[in-house]
Amino acid sequence: MLYVIAGAALTPFHGDESTQVYMSRDYAYQFLQRDLNLVMFHDPPLSAQEQDLRLLNGTLNKYLIGLAWHLGGFTLADINEQWDWGGAWDYNQSSNHAPTPALLNVARLPSAIFLALGVPVMFALGWLTGGAWAAVTASLLYALHPALLINGRRAMMEGSLTFFSLLTVLAGAWWLRRRNWIAALALGLAAGLTVASKHTGAFTVAAVFGVVGVVARCDPSPDPSPYGGREPADSLRLHPSSHSGRGGERSERGWGLALFPACSLLAAFVAALTFYALNPAWWSDPLSRAGDVLRLRQDLLAGQTATFGGYADFGAALVGFWNQVFVTPPQYFEVAGWDVYIADQIAAYEGSIWRGLHIGAVILVPLVLIGVVYLLRKTERSLRVLVGGWALVMLASVLLLTPIEWQRYYLPAYPPVLLLAAFGVAGIVDWVRNRTRPIVGSSVQ
């Protein structure tokens, strides 16, 4: 976690960081000036630029950036304007469209801290589903992944999105084990914060809620197994009701079926309420705002593909997916020519110990394939479905819905891929132990 945070100040600059800092004005409007009217939706808008950004982007990061610069001694007067992508680098730097280095370092702290908090969550997911080797490997792969580090350390939405997405998966696993109101509250809160971090977090939330719903309906009794997810998937599980005969088992199953809808509704309600509370622009008419967000998102992607060139067909999208998920080194910028402006920053970052560790496809792909086998054979059934379903939805969504080869858009695929790779390491360790155990035994005899 300290490694993740320590490299934040050295990370090369991205123009979208200026925009996120600019959006943190909403923190001042709402909590310092205490004028909710300034962050509510208006037609016509009080500021079309601010209102569009308010709808298009997640809100959690801007509030936390505002809190960070407030605690750091900055004021609203110190906040820069939005980055002007139509203007030159020198123009943006000289006309207050870029934050000062001190302000930028403070603004990066929330995202970097959330990215760091993802380390223990990855450890917990690895431990729960694959044991100690999977836990340690998952944590290391996550903390050293160059693309996660670059984007999560910046003053952007990716740090909080990554952390709360992982927390939602972990909360889903907790709900599958406990099936109680506290687990439902945790799942709902994590899910709401995920979507409030960035709207694309809805894919993680949909995957987890979908899997939790299917598993709970098919097997409504919580798993009391003491093996922490390392119990063979198809082994006989003795529920407390098994001591009371078939009638007791039916009673427990009926109780589980009765409880599940209520807890699911509670989790969904808490998720929606959390998102709603953090989006004042939605308060007046949530359905219309959802439509506005979809329209703005479509317009943004259409503009990006028209300007920078998108995928021509599915084959090109598949190649881009392969490159960005398994092959390509970290992408510091998307706009051609930026290498001129941040070349010194890139060189300093690449020459430091904070750059992470790039693992190529030659190593990563075999580990993922072994990890899939390990997941299917060794992991407890409910957790197998949860992790597998989450991984499939993340990989499918970035493959099918990403229109342009920008590494930042592929970030949701990295945590499940890294977790599967960690399972691969656990599978290799298990294989080695099974092969060497008879040899050790015979030598002892």
Of 38-52, 240-254, 284-298, 384-398, which gets the smallest average pLDDT?
A: 240-254
Of 188-202, 248-262, 375-389, which gets the smallest average pLDDT?
A: 248-262
| 3-state SS, residue 275 | helix
How far is the C-alpha of 25 from the C-alpha of 30, rounded, in Å? 9
- The tokens for 81 are 């304007």
Does the pLDDT at position 444 exceed 60? no
pLDDT at 219: 63
Which of 11, 25, 75, 101 lies closest to 349 in space, CA to CA?
A: 11
Q: What is the largest CA-CA distance in the chain?
A: 85
Average pLDDT of every residue of the chain: 89
Does the pLDDT at position 218 exceed 80? no
Residue with tokens 């993680």: 204
Q: What is the mean pLDDT of residues 20-42?
A: 97
Write out pLDDT tens, residues 226-264. 334 444 333 323 233 333 344 444 444 444 444 556 778
pLDDT at 323: 95
Of 238-247, 290-299, 395-404, 426-435, which gets the smallest average pLDDT?
A: 238-247
Q: What is the mean pLDDT of residues 21-36?
A: 97
Question: Which residues have a Cβ under 8 Å from the Cβ of 108 and sit 6 or more positions away?
Answer: 8, 9, 11, 17, 153, 154, 155
Write out pLDDT tens, residues 74-123. 999 999 999 999 889 999 999 999 999 999 999 999 999 999 999 999 99
H-only helix segments in 312-413:
314-322, 338-341, 343-350, 361-378, 381-401
Q: What is the mean pLDDT of residues 359-363?
A: 93
Query: What is the separation, in whole angstroms, between the first and last Cα of the chain?
Result: 46
pLDDT at 437: 72
Considering the entire predicted model, what is its pTM? 0.89
Q: What is the mean pLDDT of residues 51-75?
A: 97
CB burial of residue 121 (10 Å; 0-12, 13-18, 19+): buried
Does the pLDDT at position 391 exceed 60? yes
Does the pLDDT at position 148 exceed 60? yes
pLDDT at 110: 98
Write out pLDDT tens, residues 266-306. 899 999 999 999 999 999 999 999 999 999 999 999 998 98
